[in-house]
Amino acid sequence: ETGVTQTPRHLVMGMTNKKSLKCEQHLGHNAMYWYKQSAKKPLELMFVYSLEERVENNSVPSRFSPECPNSSHLFLHLHTLQPEDSALYLCASSQISGSGAYNEQFFGPGTRLTVL
Amino acid sequence: AQKVTQAQTEISVVEKEDVTLDCVYETRDTTYYLFWYKQPPSGELVFLIRRNSFDEQNEISGRYSWNFQKSTSSFNFTITASQVVDSAVYFCALSDYYIRYQLIWGAGTKLIIKP
């Protein structure tokens, strides 16, 4: 595997289900991100894990719960979602250097989530 | 506060035409980075270019070129001799010291290339 992979690619779930999205990066990066992309809306950063620190967008509901067990893996745990949570969920990774250079993020193919 | 504006929501051109996608940014920082990404219908965001604020030289990569103008806070993207495969949504993004490794994204421009 190369780059950033995400599974599953498509997910349909009911509002009472619990599911998890998985992301794995094979680039040796030290930061990982979850984004939400809804139709007709800007890309929304949900969570960042960098250098063992977690940064979150305060507007993200608690029904989304991230987990980052190591620098290569990132999960997004979903529970009691709403239909408006249907969107494309994108994972990304980047390398944060000590020099302060802000490097590009590399994205996975995304998980298309539909909440019924 | 940081902001990225892509005023063109959708552009439609005929194949082989040249097309320019506009990006205007706002930041208080003197050190910042600008990015362009392409999102084809498959959904994956593909990195195209990164430019730092100290390098105002224009960049050319094949049919793609980027014009960085600090005086107008713009970082425009031109595709020369467009092809149907260029059809995608293109995003401009900004990162600076205050937001560090995060990106501020524009709303994207949907580019349609007709055969």
- Do the Cβ atoms of A105 and B47 come within 8 Å? yes
Is the model's pLDDT at B51 over the cut of 70? yes
In angstroms, the CA A27 to CA A8 distance is 20
In this prediction, residue A113 has a pLDDT band, given cuts at 50, 70 and 90, of: very high
Q: How open is the CA angle B3-B7-B10, to the nearest 5 degrees? A: 135
- Looking at residue B63, its pLDDT comes to 96
Which of A40, A50, A104, A107 is best to mutate for the B interface (most B CBs within 10 A)?
Answer: A104
If DSSP codes are grouped into helix, strand and coil, which group holds residue B46?
strand
CB neighbours of B20 closer than 8 A, spacing ≥ 6?
B76, B77, B78, B79
pLDDT tens digits along A44-94 = 999 999 876 788 888 899 999 999 999 999 999 999 999 999 999 999 999
* pLDDT at res. A101: 61
- In a mutational test of the B interface, the residue from A38, A41, A43 whose CB has the highest number of chain B CBs within 10 Å is A43
CB atoms within 10 A of CB B5: 15
Residue B3 forms beta bridges with which residues?
B26
Say yes or no to pLDDT of A100 above 70.
no
pLDDT value of position A99: 60
- pLDDT (0 to 100) of residue A98: 66
| Test mutation, A52, A102, A106, chain B, max B CBs within 10 A | A102
Cβ contact (<8 Å) for A100 and B97?
Answer: yes
Residue B50, pLDDT score? 92
Q: In chain A, positions 66-85, which contact chain B (CB-CB < 8 Å)?
A: none
Cβ separation of A109 and B43 shorter than 8 Å? yes
Nearest CA in chain A to B49: A104
Closest residue in A to B6 (Cα) is A42
Query: How many Cβ atoms sit within 10 Å of the Cβ of residue A111?
Result: 22
Sole residue written with tokens 């980027």: B66
Residue of B nearest to A48 (CA): B102
| Cα→Cα distances A20→A17, A63, B77, B84, B106, Å | 10, 12, 37, 36, 29
Give yes or no for a contact between B16 and B82, defined as CB atoms under 8 angstroms apart. Answer: yes
pLDDT over 90 for what percent of chain B? 77
Q: Cα angle vertex A94, ends A93, A95, to 5°?
A: 140
